[in-house]
Structure 1
Amino acid sequence: MSVIIKKVTSKDDLMKFIQFGIDLYKGNEYFVPPLIYDERATLNRSKNPAFDHCDATYFLAYRDGEIVGRIAVIINYKSNERWNQKHARFGFVDFIDDEDVVDSLFGAAESWARSRGMEKIHGPLGFTDLDHEGMLIEGFDRMGTMATIYNYPYYQKHMERMGYVKDKDWVEFLIQIPPEVPERFSRMGEIVKKRFGLTVKHLQRKQDVYPYAREMFILINNAYKDLYGYVELSDKQIDYYVDMYIPMIRLDFVTLVLRQNDNKLVGVGIGLPSMSDALRKAKGRFLPNGWYHLYKALKGNGHNGVLDLLMIAVDPEYQGKGVNALMFNEFIPAANKLGMTKAESNIELEDNSKVHSMWNGLEYEQHKRRRAFIKNI
């Protein structure tokens, strides 16, 4: 049967689009499904403030009445202006191992982008750098994380067959959490605090986070502004992410580094007990029972002994000066208290040596790699 491509035009279509990205991996022991609620909000024009400067459309591939593939194509006009380019992005992409399906999906995406004056298409990327990005090309036998994409090994074969080439790679590290803070970090932390007049803010209640919440994302804008594909978050986007993420955090895995003389936030580290098992049990759904598995994981149970390092951001003025030691000095005792023995770095650009150097002095392995592909259209 021939492949039929249909544009997503209704709420029902959008649910099918999201659900296919979960159903395709049924029985896969490494896939971690997203929460359907979050996916729906991200893809919804009326809810996601990225649509203030983005356009997007979503396609489903059908064969014999069955969904066999999906793809989103996004134009981030703010990104194109920032980086002086005419690029479309593809993301939220999944497909069966079939050339006709893949060619039809990407053909529709490329045609849509071309009709709007775009010259290249790259991805997987989302609307912002906080969306899932990067196609997995190494580490298929490792458990996925809440913050990353999992895909089958055959995806890369199809990308290269269609003429897509490497644009940028990210790597991920699995770090052994030591039973106590290494002396190197303790010593470095004290030096950094004295030399630069820094202090670590200890938060006692969830409400104490909110006075710093917007400042965290402003710091992210400054710290990440020169990284591949990054686009500065708008005020509306910052409010959106504050509402989305702050309720989830655990205070013992939030480290705020402040400059003493003016209380300026110069570093932030956020971790979370691994949600992978909880999300697998929830199967993408918060109700009726998903909330219980997620709540249990957030409280520190069912984390598989793994800490997810979701974000580390340091003001450019202080990058490479040992501020990360202050974060590790907080994270390591908190992780040990919960019986965690490993930490997932999540994605880091392969050429970001400043970030990679953070793991010096710790036992670690680079266990995953993912790629952004690009093609002239």
Structure 2
Amino acid sequence: MRRVVPASSKKDIGAFIDFQHDLYADDPNYVPELFIAQRDLLTPGKHPFHEHSDVQLFLAYDGDKIVGRIAAILNKNHNTFNNVNDGFFGFFDCINDAEVASMLFKEATAWLKQKGAVSIVGPTNFSTNETCGVLITGHDSPPVAMMPYNKAYYSTLLDNLNFQKKVDILAYHFGKSGYNDRVVNLQHALTERLRNRGITIRPVNKKNFNEEAAKIREVYNSAWDRNLGFVPMTKSEFDYLAKDMKMILDTDFCLVAEKDGKFIGFALAIPDINQVLIKIKRGRLLPLGLFKLLFGLKKVNGIRIITLGVIEEYRKAGIEACFYASIINAYRKKNFEYAEASWILEHNDLMNKAIQQINGVPYKRYRIFEKAI
């Protein structure tokens, strides 16, 4: 007998996380999330998202076997900021079965409708500040750090449930060579021009990390405020993320643009820790996963350019180009094999054009879906 039940206990949350490992057990491109990180993210009182918004997890069973999962998400900050009544879904995983998918979305939709939502959008885990989107093309390689991965049939399941495309988001690939050096060759002249305007670009100071992070949050919440689906991060949310980032941060790839002591731009690339996580069975750090993580980080030879933004009044001044040039130089110095720039909205012409000009190749496409309820 098939059924869908709410999941809220510690045991339920553990089963919710582990279902993904079982579903992808034979997929060589699947990268398990760290169990402890997923557990804290999904547990009220552990992650700051739960301080302002509501989440309900659901598990689908066929007899005693779990065959699907979904999270219904009411992101109250998103709705207030954007003046909408959206509901979201996330953490969707399912066997290739239309009935199971329908049952999961029926429960998630009913829960959201009861909360006053008039649409269901996703996947987002929990918002566009975290992993989001269904992988549409690019299933032939593992995801890089903090990017999603899913079975190729997911988009068909959603199409059959009458979901519509809301927007596509792109990931660009750079190889060891082949990128356009023009921006690097112009870096000195651009840096001088910025300096004449009182603007400097420098690595973040890890010794003064908390104060730097607070200034970066201001840039983040300002520079990305017109992105589709954007919601400002609270101080607690940003501090939570920054604490995790600090553990893997390489300051050669974490840059700020500053004028008169004020941060006006920020760029961040992180090591592709998925090279290590893919080897950690079921995301467990104990007993041997911790050693794999610590020693594996030293061998990582790829990065993900995760964030690059400038507040509006300083855009097109050359700051973005200097960020790219600095990251390319650090990438080259470390003799890395690849970089991914992600994610970029398909209609963000300025950013897409900038990446294509340095020969970034779009190689993965993700989709966010929506449906009225």
- Letter of the 1:201 counterpart: R
> 15-24 or 355-364: which moved more?
355-364
Superposed CA RMSD in Å reads 1.9
Q: Secondary structure at the match of 1:281?
A: coil
Q: Which residue pairs with 2:361 in the alignment?
A: 365
Q: Which residue pairs with 1:91 in the alignment?
A: 90
Structure 2 residue 28 is the aligned partner of structure 1 residue 29: yes
1:346 is displaced (CA, Å) by 2.0
Equivalents in 2 of 1:34, 1:185: separation in Å?
Answer: 35
Q: 1:342 to 1:65 in 2, by over 3 A?
A: same
Q: Secondary structure at the match of 1:239?
A: helix
Equivalents in 2 of 1:230, 1:163: separation in Å?
Answer: 24
Q: 1:339 to 1:326 in 2, by over 3 A?
A: same
Q: Is the 8 A contact 1:145 1:276 kept in 2?
A: yes
Q: Which residue pairs with 1:240 in the alignment?
A: 240
> 223-232 or 266-275: which moved more?
266-275
1:110 is displaced (CA, Å) by 0.7
Q: Which residue pairs with 1:212 in the alignment?
A: 212
> Please, which runs of 5 or more residues in structure 2 have no aligned partner?
none
Q: 1:187 to 1:75 in 2, by over 3 A?
A: same
Q: 1:100 to 1:137 in 2, by over 3 A?
A: same
Q: Secondary structure at the match of 2:125?
A: coil
Q: Which residue pairs with 2:226 in the alignment?
A: 226
Q: Is the 8 A contact 2:129 2:230 kept in 1?
A: no
Q: Which residue pairs with 1:273 in the alignment?
A: 271
1:275 is displaced (CA, Å) by 1.4
Structure 2 residue 319 is the aligned partner of structure 1 residue 320: no
- Letter of the 2:214 counterpart: R
Equivalents in 2 of 1:19, 1:130: separation in Å?
Answer: 23
> 236-245 or 115-124: which moved more?
236-245
Instruction: Give CA deviations for 1:314-343 in whole Å, capped at 9, x if unaligned.
Output: 222222332122222322232223221321
Equivalents in 2 of 1:376, 1:179: separation in Å?
Answer: 44
Q: Is the 8 A contact 1:18 1:36 kept in 2?
A: yes
Q: Is the 8 A contact 2:179 2:360 kept in 1?
A: no
Q: Is the 8 A contact 1:271 1:309 kept in 2?
A: yes
Q: Secondary structure at the match of 1:248?
A: coil
Q: Secondary structure at the match of 1:61?
A: strand
Q: Is the 8 A contact 1:22 1:33 kept in 2?
A: yes
1:142 is displaced (CA, Å) by 2.2
Equivalents in 2 of 1:155, 1:179: separation in Å?
Answer: 34
Matches within 5 A, 1:1-377: 2-178=1-177, 182-188=181-187, 190-191=189-190, 192-194=193-195, 196-202=197-203, 206-259=206-259, 262-283=260-281, 284-299=283-298, 301=299, 303=300, 305-377=301-373
Equivalents in 2 of 1:294, 1:330: separation in Å?
Answer: 27
> Please, which runs of 5 or more residues in structure 1 have no aligned partner?
none
Equivalents in 1 of 2:65, 2:5: separation in Å?
Answer: 12
> 132-141 or 358-367: which moved more?
358-367
Q: 1:296 to 1:333 in 2, by over 3 A?
A: farther
1:252 is displaced (CA, Å) by 1.9
Equivalents in 2 of 1:180, 1:92: separation in Å?
Answer: 35
Q: Secondary structure at the match of 1:146?
A: coil
> 316-325 or 140-149: which moved more?
316-325
Instruction: Give CA deviations for 1:140-160 in whole Å, capped at 9, x if unaligned.
Output: 112212211101111111101
Q: Is the 8 A contact 1:54 1:127 kept in 2?
A: no
Q: Is the 8 A contact 1:250 1:272 kept in 2?
A: yes
Equivalents in 2 of 1:363, 1:45: separation in Å?
Answer: 43
1:309 is displaced (CA, Å) by 1.1
1:104 is displaced (CA, Å) by 0.7
Equivalents in 1 of 2:188, 2:120: separation in Å?
Answer: 43
> 91-100 or 110-119: which moved more?
110-119
Q: Is the 8 A contact 1:34 1:146 kept in 2?
A: no
Q: 1:373 to 1:186 in 2, by over 3 A?
A: same
| TM-score, length basis structure 2 | 0.93
Structure 1 outlier segments of 4+, above 6 Å: none
